Amino acid sequence: MATRIVILGAGTGGTLTANRLRRLHPHGDVEITVVDQDDRHVYQPGLLFVPFGMAHLDDIVRPRRRQLHDGITFVESAIDHVDITANTVYLANGALLVYDVLVVASGARLVPEETEGLTGPGWMDKVFTFYSPEGAAALADALTAFDGGQMVVNVVDMPIKCPVAPLEFCFLADWYFTERGIRDQVQITYATPLDGAFTKPIASDALGGMLAERNIEVIPEFNTGEVDGAGGRLIGYDEREVPFDLAVVIPLHGGAEYVGRSPGLGDAVDFVPTDEHTLQSNVAPNVFVIGDAATVPASKAGSVTHFEGETLVANIEHFLAGEPLEPGFDGHANCFIETGFHKALLIDFNYDTEPQPGHYPGRVGLPLLKDSRLNHIGKLLFQTLYWHSLLPGRDLPGVSSTMPTAGKQLAPATKEA
């Protein structure tokens, strides 16, 4: 009988895992089934560009089925729950899937309703998020109509997907309002629960300096307790208030809801406890986790998901062969950070090394921690690589899944995303 591998989620991680596994098993000795609740694969980094009219939703959404290689079964249904003691996934459409190996790739979910007032009066009127396709499209209209006043960009709490995306939004807003000739009529404020612009000190200093140069005020250690959309106020747990005419909020994130309905699978916020080096879950030996769904102390980012793919697939193969797993994943993350005016900055880091100046991937390459037009072109080109190399599960030329050290002066990292 064929080995049954069931993959929950056909986003970045689920798709690239299915395609990599299929390439290793072209003759049907392994049945690969991927489940997702819809057939719309969103290139999420593109959501950043939608509010500024630099991309349209049609440009960044493709059918999920078309991203999966022949021989992979795609099931379009919500997942109801998983019984990890019976190796069975129960689908909302009434079907069930029995597995030998389960891959959880169901990402992170936005939970705006968990913050008092956030989805109350003013939501999608003067309080928006660009973290969902509907939110990004609605914000595009609101920005076009915005003629001046106080704009606040707020992260409610960590962890969030792509921790640099809110900063990119601030930089692009500075550029956008400058282009429209109204920058002097807009105050841009970034209210963050972190003690600076980013989680890692060297990058935080560099990015904080760039925000200051652009007259973007940072309010650190701001823990949003309530959003008063009608009155135009963010209210912190410490009772500090930040007034706004337009708020761009990155809501709380949790894991997929079905994880909470699956006894023993998730933690208190529905992420799945996972070994940070092997990507085997800590809840059952035949359950593996990739991407934002995992508790590993790496950023929740597509780049991390991509770099995890190699170790994950190798370890599924080891597991099936009864061999020891490889502790292969080093926490490698890299992110292009749009800084406005057709420039971007690149950071590259892992569990042990924080973002450093230098070049990527070697001594000659893209500049690190320094904005340049070359990095902006890299960011724009990345969408093509995403659809044609990353999702098909191909290795990117010159890009290794472990963090390259040539081209960097190494300093130890603080161990958090």
Ligand X SMILES: Cc1cc2nc3c(=O)[nH]c(=O)nc-3n(C[C@H](O)[C@H](O)[C@H](O)COP(=O)(O)OP(=O)(O)OC[C@H]3O[C@@H](n4cnc5c(N)ncnc54)[C@H](O)[C@@H]3O)c2cc1C
Angstrom distance (rounded) from CA 265 to CA 244: 40
DSSP string, 156-173: -SS--BSTTHHHHHHHHH
Nearer to ligand X, 40 or 373 (CB): 40
> What's the closest the beta carbon of residue 25 comes to ligand X, in angstroms?
21
Q: Which of 187, 198, 194, 169 is nearest to 52 (CA)?
A: 169
| Residue 231 Cβ vs ligand X, minimum distance, rounded to whole Å | 27
Distance CA 396, CA 380 (A): 16
Distances (CA, A) of 5 to 34, 264, 290, 308: 9, 20, 14, 18
| Smallest separation, CB 46 to ligand X (Å) | 8
Residues sharing a CB contact under 8 Å with residue 388, sequence separation 6 or more, in sequence order = none
Q: Measured from the CB of residue 211, what is the shortest distance to ligand X in angstroms?
A: 18
60-81 exposure pattern, b = at least 16 Cβ within 10 A, e = fewer: bebebeebbbeebebbebebbb
Question: Which position among 14, 122, 229, 393 is part of the footprint of ligand X (CB under 6 A)?
Answer: 14
Shortest approach of ligand X to residue 39 CB, angstroms? 10
Task: State the Rg of the chain over Cα.
Answer: 21
User: Residue 387, SS3?
Assistant: helix
Instruction: Name, in order, each residue with C-beta under 8 angstroms of 340's C-beta and a sequence gap of 6 or more.
Output: 171, 172, 174, 175, 176, 178, 214
| Beta carbons within 10 angstroms of residue 212's beta carbon | 12
d(CA 343, CA 405): 24
Among 305, 311, 353, 375, binds ligand X (CB under 6 A): 305
Helix axes 302-321, 12-24, angle to 10 degrees: 40
Contacting range for ligand X; rule: CB under 6 A; set: 54-62, 188-196, 203-211, 298-306: 298-306
Distance CA 33, CA 7 (A): 6
Give the nearer residue to ligand X in terms of CB position, either 14 or 232.
14
- By CB under 6 A, is residue 375 in contact with ligand X? no
User: CB 42 → ligand X: shortest distance, Å?
Assistant: 8
In the complex, minimum distance from the CB of residue 106 to ligand X, in angstroms, rounded to a whole number: 4
**Mask: binding to ligand X, 102-121, rule CB under 6 A, as x and -?**
---xxx--------------
Q: Does 81 bind ligand X (CB under 6 A)?
A: no
Q: Is 393 an interacting residue with respect to ligand X (CB under 6 A)?
A: no
307 near ligand X (CB under 6 A): no
Give the interface segment with ligand X, choosing from 96-104, 233-241, 291-299, 342-350 (CB under 6 A): 291-299
d(CA 275, CA 296): 7
Nearest approach, Cβ of 148 to ligand X (angstroms)? 25
Residue choice 112, 135, 266, 302 for contact with ligand X (CB under 6 A): 302
Residue nearest to ligand X (CB): 11
Which positions from 225 through 264 interact with ligand X, judged by CB under 6 A?
A: 256-258
Nearer to ligand X among residue 38 and residue 179 (C-beta): 38
SS3 content of the chain, % helix, strand, coil (to 5): 30, 30, 40
Residues 155-174 that bind ligand X (CB under 6 A): 161-162, 165
For residues 105 and 302, the answer to whether their CB atoms sit within 8 Å is no
Is the Cβ of residue 110 or residue 194 nearer to ligand X in the bound state? 110
Q: State both tokens at 93.
A: 């459409």
Count of residues in contact with ligand X, rule CB under 6 A = 35
Q: Is residue 330 a contact point for ligand X (CB under 6 A)?
A: no
Residue 36 interacts with ligand X (CB under 6 A): yes or no: yes
Q: How far apart are CA 417 and CA 405, in angstroms?
A: 19
Closer residue to ligand X (CB): 51 or 232: 51
347 is a site residue for ligand X (CB under 6 A): no
Among 5, 7, 22, 44, binds ligand X (CB under 6 A): 44
* Contacting ligand X within 45-74 (CB under 6 A): 45, 47-48
Using CB under 6 A, list all residues that contact ligand X: 9-14, 35-37, 44-45, 47-48, 78-79, 105-107, 130-131, 161-162, 165, 256-258, 291-293, 300-303, 305, 335
